[in-house]
Amino acid sequence: MRADRLISILMLLQINKKLTASELAEKLEVSIRTIYRDIDALSGIGVPIAAEKGVNGGITLLGDYKTSLTGINKNELMSLLIPTSDKILEDLGVENLKYSTLLKILGDSAPNEVKEIENIQNYIYIDMHTWNKTNTTVNTDILSILQNAIWNSKSLKILYRKANETKEVDVNPLGLVCKRSIWYLVAINNDIIKTYKVTSIESAFLMDYTFVRPEDFNLKSYWNTSTSNFKSLIPKHTFTFKINPNILNPIKERQFITITETIVKDNEIYLKITFEAIWQGIEFAFGYGKDIEIIEPIEAILEIKKKALEVVALY
């Protein structure tokens, strides 16, 4: 709605002091022409707003003009108050701030509105714990040091544990990412941006000096690009299985299993499923016993025969 957009323009200008029409258009996902029409509308209702052309130009609010108008609607408020994972808040040490923040945002809302917003906690719950018992418990003291360093652009000396060694590394921390309850530190080491698993950081020491954060760095873009590149490097193994029709639906309902192709030939059902490792496909087939047969790859067939003989010999 246009009214919401006009309020958003005012809020953005109060926060940023000056923005170009292009920057406003990008943030609000409208055309530059629409922004100029909105500026005219704001000026027409008495808002002291000015647009300057030129290299150093931009759109500003004149004088000390501020508005207390938020124009926040119910859906916008709900989007802010959808529950955040308790685990994330606990890891970051801010779980006790949730309720006080809720009260401040609601302000003088009517009691029935407050009750409705509070009930969101009963409608939606986000659980960041995995089904498997993996070691995702993070050292909150270390995480707190990392946060401190990121907010204040302080360099860090960390003791980082790899598969075959543990070594000291000097880094300039840029951000923290939580993926499936596992925390990662994104930092610069020797002019290269790298990712460190926080549970592998045995200690972290805050240095006295600061660093200059790259102006063009965007944490979300970096993470999406790096994870995409990582996935592309993982070898893929496509299995073809002949299955008993009775297990088709149970396979479709399984988490983390994606059927890439279903083939019906001579009243037999064949499935193509891709795994990141040969052993994963073999383990999958073992779980269904005689109801599933590996057709390819040949190395998986040879391996499952070998394992079957070892099991028979054992028992």
pLDDT value for 133: 58
Asked if the model's pLDDT at residue 69 lies above 60, the reply is: no
d(CA 289, CA 27): 55
Quote the pLDDT of residue 147.
93
pLDDT at 171 over 90: yes
Q: 254-263: long-range contacts at Cβ-Cβ below 8 A with a sequence spacing of 24 or more? A: 255/131, 257/284
Nearest to residue 188, comparing CAs of 160, 152, 212, 164?
Answer: 212
Domains, the chain: 2-61 (1.10.10.10), 74-123 (no CATH), 140-233 (2.30.30), 237-314 (3.30.70)
In tens, the pLDDT along 78-131 reads 666 666 666 777 777 776 656 566 656 665 555 666 666 666 667 777 777 666
According to the model, what pLDDT value does residue 79 have? Answer: 64
pLDDT at 308: 84
- Convert the pLDDT of each residue in 239-263 to its tens digit: 999 999 999 999 998 878 889 999 9
How many CB atoms are closer than 10 A to CB 178? Answer: 17
Phi, psi of 136 (to 5 degrees): -110, 5
Confidence of residue 304 (pLDDT cuts 50, 70, 90): confident
| pLDDT for residue 123 | 72
Specify the pLDDT at position 28.
Answer: 87
- Please give the full DSSP string across 84-109, using - where no structure is assigned: PPHHHHHHHT-GGGHHHHHHHHHTT-
